[in-house]
Structure 1
């Protein structure tokens, strides 16, 4: 399968486009049946690239977050790694090389190297150098430095006589070849590359220069081991069984450099400890106990993991168990400046591995001892494990990432995890390379040469962010997977869009529209109730009638809910009676909008609310002014001012019918007003009707 951003439109795609319209997902792994490669990821995984060197292979691979091959380097000397490799800022690869088959000394420990190679981005060998003779050989790990030099871990052979002179107990056996009771302590060299195959050792540190022992009081380094945490007990044996008699006494397996502190961190498996030493010294100062920024020469500044090594504490105080890959946590991670280490767990019961973050106690730039004479902390600041499901008895590593996650290498199973701060796996990759090359997807990875291991072992992987200088001005494109495939769709360029690895472009939601062209990746593109061009499954606002009210809340589907002329809570489109004045007459037939059409006092078919003259008796006088309701106010035959309809005296006399004898009916005030008796008024005369 090849990779192109322009994906030809398959015949079953409901689109007329010929170019990808969607951005490929950051993570498209749905791979429960995959046996190698990217088997799981989420959007919480880091963006960038991961470098790893399969131990059985002479090739180093760079993959992207989707598990696709971005670049690879093959050893010009056809060497397997031994065991680490690093990508330099200029794009060159700096890698260890297993030169054991050409070794001239007696060294036979695990992780033997003897050589280092620098390979350009284009695969050209730019520099190589061998550190392998009868007395020395490099192994396990190297560390590129900002000044262009590199640090290397190496063994140096000490004879049985030299070991005895250093106060080593002769009862301690050795597996040194030839039956010799030799011992191989570790040392560190700083190497400056010269030319294409030369080097200058510009700085050294030897563990053998910093020993203490309480076995032979005749030796200069005799002392109380517990009083000297800055020194190594030459008679401490951390291993058990066969490991107790190894010439590889310390088995240091990881090195890191802190350019801000100018200090070196060192992991030594057989001691179950990590160490920090001063690099600001000269080589001469590094051999002694004074000098450098610390003022302590090459003595140990800090150690952690197993206080029994310096005769402090009990077995219950041991924190590290055959650990690997100590690193300072770089800027960006919440624990920046602290240490992280892969804690293999050998000797723990039940056996399990973990990743631990350590916060060394520092006061005014000095690592401080606790009151009991040990270095803290009492426990890791953060730890992650999967119980017995993750146990790696050897190799492995851990790297803290800038986004707060941690890249974990479960080395013996060739598996990489990215874990977030909550301990959740957000990315998982199974190395697809074994002794005979790439594995085929779907086939199980063969077992390794040790119990509980697989044949795709990886020493450790390293993650590089997309902003790393090596990637600038380089076209990085994941053109294929490392593993081989049975491609079900050989005519489709599916790599960006193939989550299940069948070689076919995915149609994740099964709507007949392939993912590159899918408007809605999680639902059918064909269902769009409101016809707004956004499929319903991805439509945050489905509004079929365009009234601004979502369908599931719409009171009147198909009409505008905001139109409610009579404000009765029923949108007009669904209102059977739009009656703004609540008179029971719909607005379209309302004679008097705003008034009750049912009120028509004068019966003239004009509702009172719109009637300019409410005249119930039809006399032309409004009811509000009518003197004789029900009769014609204009009819007054006797001209007495009392409409005839209300006048009970036809002769012109008017009987004052008022009970309290107030002002006469003609409106004139009379002297008889307020009399006790009723009176009859005739023109300008009056008389009493009754005498009581």
Structure 2
């Protein structure tokens, strides 16, 4: 009687091959039909209301180990009221440059922050001539935010300040004098936080990504990895106020670019891009505690990293991993949208200066939680209400793997958009990853089967020869 095992194995191999081909087909089709201009295009999305003047966007781009992907360039983009492209600017110095913070200055120029090669270049750019009025190379790695305090002083959020010999973090906020090229004021996180915060010191302990002057007496700072926003007293160096706490993700998770507002009654208010929770939130300080008064976008934003309140009451949001900038009403309706690939970090309405200049949500009687509606859903962004990361998280929800699923979903949503080829969608990459896992599993099974047979054959041969 003939054994049915070989045909069965062939059938299994055939099924595995068909599934792998099916999973890889979307990415192959995308590659064959890919048009480079589609991915590189800077394009307008939904625009129902004209913006109040020009919008400037800094796009981080993608650089890895000194190599910049030409399809994912770092650049500054300026847009008119209806989302038309006014100009773009790419760095002519340093192939591995990034762009992070960009601040409109009173004279019409822009203060630009651009890390490169282990240092950070800060300069004042004249957008009319593309010339730099001045520049300063700071010996700080990967700085995300620098603000100009006056004609001679900068305040710098200095992260990744790791002391290798002492194994301690020197992450800090400093005031830097441009005339003397020296630090005149310093505030170090390790003097105010236990060394055990966020699992212990490392070379990116705080990831301090933002510093803003609040009046003449305080700095608002954002240690992203600590999940909190701080108001620091510039005279006493005490922490006057704190929003959030380490690993309490219900308040914030790995936030970016908080702005300080005050209502008409003087209520302290913080508007912040709650990046890890994929939302923008606003908190008001009343009766000795912070209360969340507004939340928008938890099912549609993907790693937002900037939010500014405009004088008209709307909010300008930089939706980084959807590669777009949107202006939304207090109830979440998009009235202005632009796809600014690749990886926008900061967006500013030039006429209004740096940061938030509008009313709080409480002043607009619009407190609540809202979803974002009205997107054009173009290719440059995901255009999908259910992203791969959200799908992974939702699939594991309510099971013993819910915690693992949430972490995997977050990791996927954060890193996959940077790693995937420009011709792949998020789902193309997901299907290709599944195909890879299936192939690895099948190969391991085949190796195991043949290994078992080889061992059995040797054992049988040994018994037959009496060895």
TM-score past 0.5 threshold = yes
Higher strand share: 2
Instruction: Write out the 4+ residue segments of structure 1 that deviate beyond 3 Å after TM superposition.
Output: 71-76, 155-162, 315-318, 333-337
Matched, 1:301 2:276: no
User: 110, 134, 147: which is aligned to 1:127?
Assistant: 134
Question: In structure 1, the residue corresponding to 2:321 is in which secondary structure?
Answer: helix
**Structure 2 CA distance for partners of 1:117 and 1:131, relative to 1, 3 Å:** same
**Structure 2 CA distance for partners of 1:464 and 1:336, relative to 1, 3 Å:** farther
**Structure 2 CA distance for partners of 1:316 and 1:141, relative to 1, 3 Å:** closer
Who is 1:416 aligned against? 325
Deviation, 1:299, is 2.1
Who is 1:187 aligned against? 172
Deviation, 1:46, is 3.7
Deviation, 1:278, is 1.3
**Structure 2 CA distance for partners of 1:386 and 1:317, relative to 1, 3 Å:** closer
Kindly provide the CA deviation profile for residues 200-245 of structure 1, in whole angstroms up to 9, marking residues without a partner as x: 433222223x2xxxxxxxxxxxxxxxxxxxx31211225xxxxx78
User: 257, 270, 283: which is aligned to 1:339?
Assistant: 270
Task: Tell me the distance in 2 between the aligned counterparts of 1:60 and 1:305.
Answer: 32
**Larger relative contact order (CA 8 Å, sep ≥ 6):** 2
Question: In structure 2, the residue corresponding to 1:232 is in which secondary structure?
Answer: coil
**Structure 2 CA distance for partners of 1:318 and 1:59, relative to 1, 3 Å:** closer
CA contact (8 A) 1:357 1:382 kept: yes
Task: Tell me the distance in 1 between the aligned counterparts of 2:120 and 2:306.
Answer: 21
Who is 1:356 aligned against? 281
Task: Tell me the distance in 1 between the aligned counterparts of 2:228 and 2:75.
Answer: 31
CA contact (8 A) 1:58 1:78 kept: no
List alignment gaps of at least 5 residues for structure 1: 1-33, 104-112, 163-181, 211-230, 239-243, 282-296, 310-314, 346-351, 363-367, 369-375, 434-455, 470-498, 500-692
User: 212, 235, 238: which is aligned to 2:196?
Assistant: 235
Task: Tell me the distance in 2 between the aligned counterparts of 1:207 and 1:421.
Answer: 35
CA contact (8 A) 1:74 1:123 kept: no
**Structure 2 CA distance for partners of 1:468 and 1:233, relative to 1, 3 Å:** closer
Deviation, 1:317, is 7.4
Question: In structure 1, the residue corresponding to 2:225 is in which secondary structure?
Answer: helix
Higher helix share: 2
Question: In structure 2, the residue corresponding to 1:270 is in which secondary structure?
Answer: helix
Deviation, 1:187, is 0.8
Task: Tell me the distance in 2 between the aligned counterparts of 1:123 and 1:145.
Answer: 23
Who is 2:251 aligned against? 319
State how 1:364-443 maps to structure 2 within 5 Å. Answer: 368=288, 376-377=289-290, 379-387=291-299, 389-392=300-303, 396-431=305-340, 433=341
**CA root-mean-square deviation:** 3.3
Task: Tell me the distance in 2 between the aligned counterparts of 1:335 and 1:48.
Answer: 29
TM-score if structure 1 supplies the norm length? 0.40
TM-score if structure 2 supplies the norm length? 0.58
Task: Tell me the distance in 2 between the aligned counterparts of 1:334 and 1:403.
Answer: 19
User: 152, 165, 186: which is aligned to 1:204?
Assistant: 186
Larger radius of gyration: 1
CA contact (8 A) 1:42 1:427 kept: yes
List alignment gaps of at least 5 residues for structure 2: 1-39, 62-72, 355-375, 377-467
State how 1:539-558 maps to structure 2 within 5 Å. Answer: none
Task: Tell me the distance in 2 between the aligned counterparts of 1:330 and 1:463.
Answer: 20
State how 1:61-140 maps to structure 2 within 5 Å. Answer: 61-78=77-94, 80-100=97-117, 103=118, 113-121=119-127, 122-132=129-139, 136-137=140-141, 139-140=143-144
Question: In structure 1, the residue corresponding to 2:130 is in which secondary structure?
Answer: coil
Kindly provide the CA deviation profile for residues 46-69 of structure 1, in whole angstroms up to 9, marking residues without a partner as x: 412211122123532221121122
**Structure 2 CA distance for partners of 1:278 and 1:316, relative to 1, 3 Å:** closer
The size of the alignment, in residue pairs, is 304
Deviation, 1:406, is 0.5
Task: Tell me the distance in 1 between the aligned counterparts of 2:244 and 2:319.
Answer: 20
Kindly provide the CA deviation profile for residues 280-323 of structure 1, in whole angstroms up to 9, marking residues without a partner as x: x2xxxxxxxxxxxxxxx2121111112xx4xxxxx767411111
